[in-house]
Amino acid sequence: MIVTLDTNILFQALNSQSGASFYIFQLLRAGHIRLALSNSTFCEYEDVLTRSTSLKAFELSKEDVTKFLRYIAFVGEKFEPHFLFRPNLKDEADNMFVELAIVSHSQYLITSNIKDYQNSNLILDNFQLITPANFVKQWRNKNG
């Protein structure tokens, strides 16, 4: 199963080893799920995760986060949208995650900010928009 991860999932995975986002990262590490990745989403991950405020929150060095990002780049399956599907979400940066989820045929777009993706003109029937906690709940119900 391939998934698209909003930046907040990786942020939360680095910030705490006890939450659903870290569990999702562990599923990725174990090869149980596959990560869709594009140049634009990777650049977003890098920008947010290496900010000084993020590093302080993680209590990690920039080198540690860079190693994490290298791993993400290594395991992520690369896709590059060749069209611009602009759902025109409130946060322009979120559009790239919808585009990636569509192009990669992701089964899920996992985000902690469901409300950021809600738009009355947007029909998301190509993938399921889901919170990390609900994804983990579904995963455990299906996989034990």
pLDDT digits (tens, 9 = 90+) for 31-53: 999 999 999 999 999 999 999 99
Q: What is the pLDDT of residue 92?
A: 74
Q: What is the pLDDT of residue 62?
A: 97
Q: What is the pLDDT of residue 78?
A: 97
Q: What is the pLDDT of residue 85?
A: 65
* Cβ-based burial of 35 (10 A; exposed 0-12, middle 13-18, buried ≥19): buried
Question: Tell me, what CATH number does 68's domain have?
Answer: 3.40.50.1010
Q: What is the pLDDT of residue 87?
A: 61
User: What residue numbers bound the domain in which 32 lies?
Assistant: 2-143
> Where are any strands of DSSP class E within 7-134?
34-37, 77-78, 108-110, 128-130
Q: What is the pLDDT of residue 104?
A: 95
Residue numbers in the chain where pLDDT is lower than 70 = 83-88, 119-124
Note if the pTM is more than 0.85.
yes
Measuring CA to CA, how many Å separate 23 from each of 13, 54, 141? 8, 20, 14
> Where are any strands of DSSP class E within 1-140?
2-5, 34-37, 77-78, 108-110, 128-130
Q: What is the pLDDT of residue 115?
A: 84
Q: What is the count of structural domains for the chain?
A: 1
